[in-house]
Amino acid sequence: MNTFFPKIKKIKYEGPDSKNPLAFKHYNPKKKILGKSMADHLRFAVCYWHTFKGLGADPFGGGTMIRDYNTSSAPMQVAEDTLHAAFEFFTKLGVNFWCFHDRDIAPEADTLAETNKRLDKIVKIAKKLQKDTGIGLLWGTTNAFSHRRFLAGAGTNPSPQVFAYAASQIKKAMEITKQLGGQGYVFWGGREGYETLLNTDMKKEFDHLATLLHMAVDYKKQIRFKGQFYIEPKPKEPTKHQYDSDAGNCFAFLQKYDLLKDFKLNIEANHATLAGHTFQHELQFCVDNGILGSVDANRGDLFLGWDTDQFPTDIYETTLAMYTILKGGGFTTGGLNFDAKLRRQSIDPEDLFHAHIGAMDAFARGLKNAAKMIKDKKFDKALRQRYAGWNTAFGRKIEKRQVGFGELEQYTLKNGEPKVQSGRQEMLENMLNEYL
Ligand code: XLS
Ligand code: NI
Ligand code: NI
C-alpha cells in the first residue's frame, strides 16, 4: 500500500525532542496513561468527507487540491481509488478508526436501487481493507442534505415522499454500517431546520424528526445493529435555525419524544462555539446528563462566524476537553473524529499528514495534561471546598428537601447575613496554565 502517498512513510512517535515534522512528538499510541493506552483513550478517527472528498472548494471557487485518486473519468473508479488511498492514509498515519457518509464512499446514481448497488460494491472492498489493516469504523452516517430533493430537509421535509426517501437512505446506511462493524451511527440534521416561520410548522417538523428517529430505533432492533446512535447538535448552517441546536436542546428533545435511552450525542467543537458555548461546556453538559457519546474534534476561528472546521491545535482547549472526557469516564463506543478540513492553500497530500499529526499531538498533550490534573486533584479540591457548605447538616437538609421556605426564612432571620467567598477564578486559571 504505497500508491497514493508514495513520499510518506509510516508516521512514528519520535518524542518531544524530534525535529521531524512528519513524526509524533506526543502521541505514543501504546504508552499507558491512567492505566489505559493513549490509543484507547483517544480513539482517533479520520473523516472521509473532508479528508478525501473535500478538495478546497469554497463559495467563491472550486477545488484547489489535485489528488491522484481523483483523476479517472469513471465515478466508480474514483470511488475505488479513493477508498484505497484512504486506507493507505489511515495505515500510514496510525489511526484505528474512520467515519463516512454513504455518499462520500459511493457516488449517487440515477435511482435508489442503482445507488445502493454501488454502495454494496464499495462496502465489499472496504470490508476487505478493514480486515487487512485492522482499522475499524467508528461511525457511519447518511448524507441527506446535499441533494436538491432535501432542500427543505429530510425528516422534517413538508413532503412525506421526501421523508420516505430519507428513511430509505438511512435504512441502507445503517445496514452498511452494521456490515462494516460500525461502533456507532450519527444523525446530523443537515437541513433539519428552517429559514422562516412564515412557511414552517415547527411543531409538526419536530414531531416528524422524532418519528424518523423512532423508525431508526425500530429498524436497529430489527437488524440487530448493536452500534450506538448519536445526534450531532449544531445551531445553524446550512439552515438559519437548526432543530438540534445544542446539547441542552437535544436533551430536551430526546426526553420529550422518549428517545433518551437510544441516543447519545456527538459533540463537535466548532458547533459548540457556534451555539455560543465553549467546547468544554457542551461536553460537561453531556457528562452530567449521561449522554456523552463521541466527539467531532475540530475548531472554529475567533473572527469568522461559521463552521470553519479547522484542525484542532489549541492545547488549552484539548486539555480542558480531555479533562472533562476523562472525568466523565472516557470514551466507550465513541472517539475523536477529525471533522476538519485543510485550508484552501494547503494543496499537497503531505498537508493532510501535517494536519492530522498536529491534531493528534494536540489531543495527546491534552490527554497527558488532563491526566496530571486528575492525579494531582488540585481542581477537585478547589471544587470541593467551594461547595463544602452543602456537606454540613444544614446543606444536606436543603438537598434532601427536609426543609422548606418557612424553615429557611427562620434560619436566615436568626443567622443574618451569609458569609461570601472568593471564586478564585484567576488563581485557578493560573493553576491550569501550570499544566500546559
Ligand atoms: C457538519 C457536520 C457533519 C457531520 C456529519 O457541520 O459536522 O460533518 O459531522 O454529517
Ligand atoms: Ni461534525
Ligand atoms: Ni461541522
Residue boundaries of the structural domains of the chain:
32-376, 391-435
**Which triple of cell numbers denotes residue 115?**
445507488
Interval between CA 188 and ligand 1 midpoint (Å): 6
The span from the first CA to the last CA of the chain, in angstroms, equals 38
Give the nearest ligand 1 atom to 268 CA.
Answer: 7
Whether the CB of 309 sits within 6 Å of ligand 1: no
341 lines ligand 1 (CB under 6 A): no
Cα–Cα nearest to 54, from 354, 362, 346, 350: 346
Distance 188 CA to ligand 3 centre (A): 9
Q: How far does the centroid of ligand 2 lie from the alpha carbon of residue 381, in Å?
A: 35
Q: Which pLDDT belongs to residue 77?
A: 98
Which of 296, 336, 337 has most ligand 1 atoms within 8 Å of its beta carbon, as the pocket-test mutant? 296
Tell me if 361 CB under 6 Å of ligand 1: no
Give the pLDDT confidence score for residue 1 in this predicted structure. Answer: 73
The CB of 104 under 6 Å from ligand 1? The reply is no
The confidence score (pLDDT) of residue 2 equals 78
CA–CA separation, 187 vs 207, rounded Å?
Answer: 16
Query: How far is the centre of ligand 2, averaged over its atoms, from the C-alpha of 232 (Å)?
Result: 7
Per-residue DSSP letter, 261: G
Residues tagged active-site: 101, 104
Residue found under cell 494536519: 355
pLDDT at residue number 222: 98
CATH superfamily, with its number, for domain 32-376:
Divalent-metal-dependent TIM barrel enzymes (3.20.20.150)
b/e string for 198-209 if b means 16 or more Cβ within 10 A? eebeeeebbebb
**Ligand closest to the CA atom of residue 267:** 2
What is the per-residue pLDDT for 146?
98
**What pTM value is reported for the model?**
0.98
Q: Establish whether residue 234 lines the binding site of ligand 1, counting it when its CB lies within 6 angstroms of any ligand atom.
A: yes
Does the Cβ of 102 fall within 6 Å of ligand 1? no
Q: Measured from the CA of 237, which atom of ligand 1 is nearest?
A: 6
Contact indicator for 4, 88 with CB cutoff of 8 Å: yes
Q: Which three cell numbers stand for residue 123?
A: 462496502
Residue with the smallest CA separation from ligand 1 atom 3 is: 188
**Ligand 1 within 6 A of 186 CB?**
yes
pLDDT at 330: 98
C-beta of 244 in contact with ligand 1 (< 6 A): no
| Calpha distance 340→335 (Å, rounded) | 15
Nearest to 34 by CA among 330, 357, 382: 330
Per-residue pLDDT of the chain (436 residues; tens, 9 = 90+): 779 999 999 999 999 999 999 999 999 999 999 999 999 999 999 999 999 999 999 999 999 999 999 999 999 999 999 999 999 999 999 999 999 999 999 999 999 999 999 999 999 999 999 999 999 999 999 999 999 999 999 999 999 999 999 999 999 999 999 999 999 999 999 999 999 999 999 999 999 999 999 999 999 999 999 999 999 999 999 999 999 999 999 999 999 999 999 999 999 999 999 999 999 999 999 999 999 999 999 999 999 999 999 999 999 999 999 999 999 999 999 999 999 999 999 999 999 999 999 999 999 999 999 999 999 999 999 999 999 999 999 999 999 999 999 999 999 999 999 999 999 999 999 999 999 9
Ligand 1 within 6 A of CB of 339:
yes
State the distance from the centre of ligand 2 to the C-alpha of 296, rounded, in angstroms: 5
Pocket test of ligand 1: the residue of 146, 186, 188, 307 to mutate, having most ligand atoms within 8 Å of its CB, is: 188
CA 195 to ligand 2 center in whole angstroms: 21
pLDDT of residue 418: 97
CA 294 to each of CA 13, 143, 323, 403: distance values in angstroms, whole numbers, following the listed order: 25, 19, 15, 40
49 CA: nearest ligand 1 atom: 8
What interhelical angle do 315-327 and 349-376 show, nearest 10? Answer: 50
Return the C-alpha torsion angle 16, 20, 23, 27, nearest 10. Answer: 10
Task: Say which DSSP state 90 is in.
Answer: H
